Structure 1
């Protein structure tokens, strides 16, 4: 550098305030480094991004600029606009309106040399804050009433960054009603400035803050821009290239944005990059909300090792979990498809301790997540049901029914809550619409809930409420309601007469889920023939034959019976009965059940004092959760076996597996020779 330039720079440095320091950058650019104490690009997201953009101060080199044929040029110095992102210096060329000190479309290096900083004669060029006009997307959304207004504002004076316009439009869309929203989005696509805004967005993608880029992608997708467009794919590619700039907050935004995208090459690559990044940074995540967002949107097909690492991180931070974090963790684990019993148990305790005041949506989310994760916590379910039963008056009828449907999915029966709903239905049968009636009947028949005091009144009230809708009920809903009544051993004539009409049967056998329809019609046929409460037994619906029930080995039970009855001749295995019923073992005994007859003894089998005994090996799934209360279909099977002349003995397979052979023999012997009938009421297993 010449002595003249050095002297000029030294003299100017003496005149500058101490708070501002000039620094010569290696690329040959000289600019003021100004400390803005109240500005933080992370704390003021999207509301002051432009304050971080500072163009190079070429006026410091006025002493060494020369005019050649009306053009200004420098000695070996190339001019551009510098933007600072944190500690990274990014020389980029922008396109925007010239009134805001940025370069217009198609600007050349010659135009860049003519940047005007709009300073007055009384102001020192070195001390002026050289910043473009700020663009606040929230303020823009408040000032504009439609998407076209935002695009009109952009066309009059485009400003950096373009993401502010997309965010403003998405903010406006969220407050527009659904019907008008589609019309506004159509107008947005047809607006002449929309394509120009998209071009600006693509050009600015590599220079805007990374979190701005992610927010822009999310807003663009929510506005309905197709994913296969050049702009969206450009943003995806740019996000890939700059993924190393992703901090903790950006991890959360990127995880959320990826959930809204359809699989494609760029999305798959970005998803893989996100997983690698999460795997590297999981122990550095400080905020619980960020951790849960990443876990929720990381994807079900993530490797088990990464899922386990995220689980360990969550367990490590368990002491910092708020009530909201604990409630949210059920949905997070379900979205990740990772069943962490330890984490679920700890979160369940906090949910139970703070159950009062828990919103309905959160309760439903917890129950649905438990179903998806196959997590059965009777204490948690009982706590939720007790809370709803205690505050029954504040809940809407459809909310209680929806909760009971969730409990039915889990196989959980809460007699107190179900009795309260029964009382409400008996008192106000007209309060139920058709959908509610179908749901209530499904829950009560599936869980086999019977209230001795008002069961008959409940069934009659449901029949009366359903009869009002008979003129407009669909065939499938009619079948579902009659099927539910059959499980509860109740047969309303008006409903059965309408269901057995030929056109209804034909429709059920040719449309919808025909396999389920055939099964339910077979149940109706069986009930009309075997149940003593059926009003007429002559009705028969011609149906296709169902496949035979699959036979289960039950080798241990067979070995126990062989040891107990001294041979295989005293029992029969896998007996197929009429009406598609199947029993695991059949034994023939006297009426007092003190003696077992051999199947080869013709005289014994033809004796009048002989009783057939059906031995059923049953799993836990045929009972309500953690009880010996049989569910609807199983209770109906027991009822029908008794109607066919069998005495039913139930062998719990999960109990028998735990026993040694001698203990198992004693266990089965007590069942066979016991005069007690199988339990049909609540009892803890």
Structure 2
């Protein structure tokens, strides 16, 4: 009691020099300024809270100083129903004194009606007078959250405002989560227009410094999820208070703070708060007990976090591997992608957990895992096979659009699952209504890139895709048409109507004048090469005039050149040979027709009959030209091999990464076996007879 009385007298002395104001203009928590009546019968307890609005003095004492409350510039409120106003930059030194108010934290800092003054008896000797007149009946959060409307919560607040205001925001978000998207949008609009909403925001700002830290963070999270504009005074004020009180965060608060940062757009105060979170996590990382908290923090620290902090978090996660649940393992892929930190050991262990518990896993989670693998450049053949096998097993459960999205991600990862792709081909032929223009372009890209055409359904599939594309020719864009036709060319299939439309002069000119003219010219070059080299009789007379393409870049293959010199000798091979149609081969060797003897270049040039010479093209290829199994060539390599064969070459593929591993003696033996081998290199599964 003595402590309370002493604190009260201290506060009264500090305010004794301040004169009451009859009328002031106070900033609205959503960024406006509106007149507000302050009665001359002034109350010092009210002023302790109202002082935040008009008396911000001193300097911030913790980690963050002079951070701007608002983003400067022309930020405009995006929320419908709130007048768009330009938010100006306002730099404050301090939000509140760290000293707590002396009254009970459970009592409301305003009277029961929320607007009227509180009568303060200076001659009262007992503090119970104040408590009795200002302490309304608390409103239970659980009871608030049982409502059906956000407006119901605001009505309750307007009838009897109670401390803390965080209960009202948390209750509104709890109610909003139960609504459909359309209903939630409508209810949010009603919330912004409710007369008590502005008053609730004011109360929230006043109470931010005296409520518990977890209440503060939960309310800020609810405010962000309710789509209250980030550049408003309310949100930016709470961000500043959290900055000042960040050292009060325990493990639970760290989880909530991480979720808040993840949900917010970058701005000055968010960036400063994220920096503070990094410092705090670096200090407390070994004290964190829950795996969920570790993952929440990892996901929110940002891609530009120090590598030392990322490695500490990785080590902490590895220590907790034995406590990982299935959900933790599934989530770790997304967490590491958000942090932009690939940990192969962690991902390998989580992959085993995902594969072992894949039955019943929602496709949305599997798609997120594949997206994260793509972003992290993580290739795990067993994981991809497990996911693909599961999709095949449950194929009838999913929509074709979902399966197509999985196939697109597999193509990004260079993974080809023959069973899934065959099943999808059959389904597309049976359900041709699925073939929208966008889906056609995507499907053709996936199948041509992965060079997947084999078995009986392939011919019917290509015919169905060609017919579907023809049906969209009247309203397809030039670039989509080019992409689709180029995919058909890679698969050695040439539908007449799309190609004829693409070859019109106005469309060619449009493609060569667009922002992507270099890429478009390259794809038109592919079309021109296919029309000349492949079996397309109805297009043989066409002459497509294109701008000259720069020669293919040269990548020196010093080791292979040294091996050929050791094996064959000088004068028996050519290096970096440029061929028509912008094709380039690394080495050319000329042999007899039986490929039993290598001919010197001088003798080969003297031979008059081309049938007596077998030209051999040695291609040094990287991993990216194969599918993930490293035995099946992708679309562009398969097409190049097909065209080189038409030009009279026998093709030998030399894998760069394998040659680098071999010693010179082993490499010579390997190259010799390839040159004199009678086996053909891997190509596309079937080269279908081209049709118009």
Normalising by the residue count of structure 1, what TM-score does the alignment of the two structures yield? 0.80
1:133 and 2:130 are equivalent in the alignment: no
- Describe the SS at the equivalent of 1:115: helix
Structure 1 counterpart of 2:111, from 98, 107, 120: 98
* Cα distance, 1:304 vs structure 2: 1.2
1:351 and 2:354 are equivalent in the alignment: yes
Conservation of the 8 A alpha-carbon contact between 1:95 and 1:200:
no
| Pairwise CA RMSD | 3.0
**Structure 2 residue aligned with 1:20:** none
Q: Distance in 2 between matches of 1:532 and 1:105?
A: 91
**Structure 2 residue aligned with 1:631:** 634
Structure 2 counterpart of 1:143, from 140, 143, 147: 147
The 1:483–1:138 alpha-carbon spacing in structure 2 relative to 1, beyond 3 Å, is farther
- Describe the SS at the equivalent of 1:586: strand
Moved more, 314-323 or 88-97: 88-97
Structure 2 counterpart of 1:486, from 486, 489, 495: 489
Structure 1 counterpart of 2:246, from 243, 246, 251: 243
* Cα distance, 1:178 vs structure 2: 5.0
| 1:243-262 mapped onto 2 (5 Å cutoff) | 243-262=246-265
Q: Distance in 2 between matches of 1:105 and 1:500?
A: 81
Q: Distance in 1 between matches of 2:516 and 2:245?
A: 50
**Structure 2 residue aligned with 1:596:** 598
1:435 and 2:448 are equivalent in the alignment: no
Provide, for residues 587-634 of structure 1, a one-character-per-residue CA deviation record: whole Å limited to 9, x for no partner: 222212222233344753544312221110011111111231110111
Q: Distance in 2 between matches of 1:260 and 1:354?
A: 29
* Cα distance, 1:336 vs structure 2: 0.9
| 1:74-223 mapped onto 2 (5 Å cutoff) | 90-91=100-101, 96-99=109-112, 110=122, 115=129, 117-118=131-132, 132-143=136-147, 145-147=149-151, 149-174=152-177, 178=181, 184-186=187-189, 188-223=191-226
**Structure 2 residue aligned with 1:508:** 511
| 1:3-42 mapped onto 2 (5 Å cutoff) | 25=3
Conservation of the 8 A alpha-carbon contact between 1:599 and 1:605:
no
**Structure 1 residue aligned with 2:79:** none
Q: Distance in 2 between matches of 1:29 and 1:187?
A: 42
Structure 2 counterpart of 1:317, from 316, 320, 332: 320
The 1:218–1:327 alpha-carbon spacing in structure 2 relative to 1, beyond 3 Å, is same
**Structure 2 residue aligned with 1:610:** 613
Conservation of the 8 A alpha-carbon contact between 1:597 and 1:605:
no
Q: Distance in 1 between matches of 2:452 and 2:389?
A: 17
- Describe the SS at the equivalent of 2:329: helix
Q: Distance in 2 between matches of 1:557 and 1:226?
A: 62
- Describe the SS at the equivalent of 2:666: helix
| 1:622-661 mapped onto 2 (5 Å cutoff) | 622-661=625-664
Higher radius of gyration, 1 or 2 = 1
**Structure 1 residue aligned with 2:538:** 535
- Describe the SS at the equivalent of 1:349: helix
Conservation of the 8 A alpha-carbon contact between 2:326 and 2:354:
yes
* Cα distance, 1:406 vs structure 2: 1.2
- Describe the SS at the equivalent of 1:301: coil
**Structure 2 residue aligned with 1:58:** none
Q: Distance in 2 between matches of 1:344 and 1:501?
A: 50
**Structure 2 residue aligned with 1:574:** 576
The 1:176–1:512 alpha-carbon spacing in structure 2 relative to 1, beyond 3 Å, is farther
Conservation of the 8 A alpha-carbon contact between 2:170 and 2:218:
yes
**Structure 2 residue aligned with 1:420:** 423
Provide, for residues 646-676 of structure 1, a one-character-per-residue CA deviation record: whole Å limited to 9, x for no partner: 1111111111111111221121111112222
Normalising by the residue count of structure 2, what TM-score does the alignment of the two structures yield? 0.80
Provide, for residues 493-537 of structure 1, a one-character-per-residue CA deviation record: whole Å limited to 9, x for no partner: 111112222333233333363332222221111111111245322
Moved more, 291-300 or 259-268: 259-268
| 1:392-471 mapped onto 2 (5 Å cutoff) | 392-471=395-474
Conservation of the 8 A alpha-carbon contact between 1:151 and 1:194:
yes
The 1:427–1:212 alpha-carbon spacing in structure 2 relative to 1, beyond 3 Å, is same
Conservation of the 8 A alpha-carbon contact between 1:95 and 1:103:
no
Conservation of the 8 A alpha-carbon contact between 1:588 and 1:605:
no
Moved more, 470-479 or 519-528: 470-479
Q: Distance in 1 between matches of 2:4 and 2:398?
A: 69
**Structure 2 residue aligned with 1:57:** none
**Structure 2 residue aligned with 1:583:** 585
* Cα distance, 1:173 vs structure 2: 4.4
Q: More relative contact order in 1 or in 2 (CA 8 Å, sep 6+)?
A: 2
**Structure 1 residue aligned with 2:86:** none
**Structure 2 residue aligned with 1:476:** 479
The 1:155–1:681 alpha-carbon spacing in structure 2 relative to 1, beyond 3 Å, is same
Moved more, 102-111 or 422-431: 102-111
* Cα distance, 1:428 vs structure 2: 3.2
The 1:483–1:358 alpha-carbon spacing in structure 2 relative to 1, beyond 3 Å, is same
* Cα distance, 1:461 vs structure 2: 2.0
**Structure 1 residue aligned with 2:93:** none
